[in-house]
Amino acid sequence: MLSDLTHIPRIMRHEGWQNAAILLDTWFGRLATVAPRYSTPETATIRMDSWVLTFARAREVYERLIQDRIWSNPAARVEIARMLRRKGLLGSVPQPFGRLSDAVSLQDADYINQRAAGGYTDVDDMTAALGNFNLRVVVAGTVRPASAAGTAGQTGYQVEIAEVGIYVRDSFDFEGNQYLGCWSDDPDGFSPIMPPEPEFSFSPPMFSPVGNRDFREWRDRTGRGGDFLVFSDMKVSRASKTLTPLLSRSSTPSLQSCSWSATAFTRKPRSISSVRPGKAGADARRLPPSKIQGHR
């Protein structure tokens, strides 16, 4: 049997799930905080090149994201226009935007598209640490006044995207109802076997079934257990040609106010450490983020 939930990180390390153990230890060590009123973001553990992209299911989403250039599809164009207007960068002189070397958690408010990744294929470190998560996209470049083509002299804005940044964003919390496996105090004390119907009390011998509710009850008893957002470092690549939407000065960005040129993409990525799905045209910034409803 499992005598205490705080023994789970030790079992995770025995299974080789190092990042999952770090994140769960972090949750146990924080004062009680409940999503969406998160405690401080965790930014020191998840790394794009050395961890995220070593999992085939995450790399597949990343490569399709690059192939589809989701920073230039219609949904992203609208979000870029909104971001520039919100920051007050649509003026009479050229203005740079985006600092992809800044802390990822500070840039998250400016993401312009995302794709869902992760999911359950087998129980591994990614399943246990993140479950479902999002790969989000931010951009950097320059916006300058320009004459909008085909608008009879109307003044607009030309946007040139020089860099594209991609990172993981996830919520580490235990909201909702979710089964999280059977656990015991043994070093290899984990089993993914799902209990049958609720009227049965079956679990593997000497194992205890664990779910989100158990973590919430532990938080209520102890006053500890802090939900937090998880951010990876930023994987940055350069656009080899400029991407040039012409944005009109209308108060509300719309697809009709943008015309875009083709762009190429060069795969010369670099990773910058932070301080601490569907078709391309269907992506939208406003998709609700996938939440890790507990540990899976």
Cβ neighbours of 291 (radius 10 Å): 19
Cβ neighbors of 217 (< 8 A, separation 6 or more) are none
Q: Provide the β-strand partners of residue 239.
A: 265
DSSP result, 244-274? --EEE--SS--GGG-------B----EEEPP
Checking if the pLDDT of 226 tops 50, the result is yes
Identity of the residue numbered 145: P
In which band, very low, low, confident or very high, does the pLDDT at 204 lie, cut at 50, 70 and 90?
low
Q: How far is CA 149 from CA 68, 252, 258, 261, in A?
A: 25, 19, 10, 12
Mean of pLDDT values over 8-31: 97
Cα separations in angstroms, 256 against 142, 148, 246, 250, 261: 21, 12, 10, 11, 14
Most confident of 92-101, 139-148, 196-205, 265-274: 92-101
Residue 157, pLDDT > 90, answer no
Judge whether residue 98 has pLDDT over 80: yes
Q: What 3-state class would DSSP assign to 163?
A: strand
Lowest mean pLDDT among 140-144, 165-169, 276-280: 276-280
- HSE, CB side, 13 Å, CA atoms: give it for residue 62: 23
What is the predicted pLDDT for the residue at 24? 98
**Mean predicted confidence (pLDDT) in 168-189:** 92
How many CA atoms does the CB half-sphere of 68 hold within 13 Å? 22
Give the pLDDT confidence of 60-76 residue by residue, as tens digits.
999 999 999 999 899 99
The answer on pLDDT for 111 being more than 70 is yes
> pLDDT exceeding 90 applies to what percent of the chain?
60
- The Cα–Cα gap between 52 and 43 comes to 14
CA distance 226 to 224: 6
All structural domains of the chain with their residue ranges: 31-173+227-287
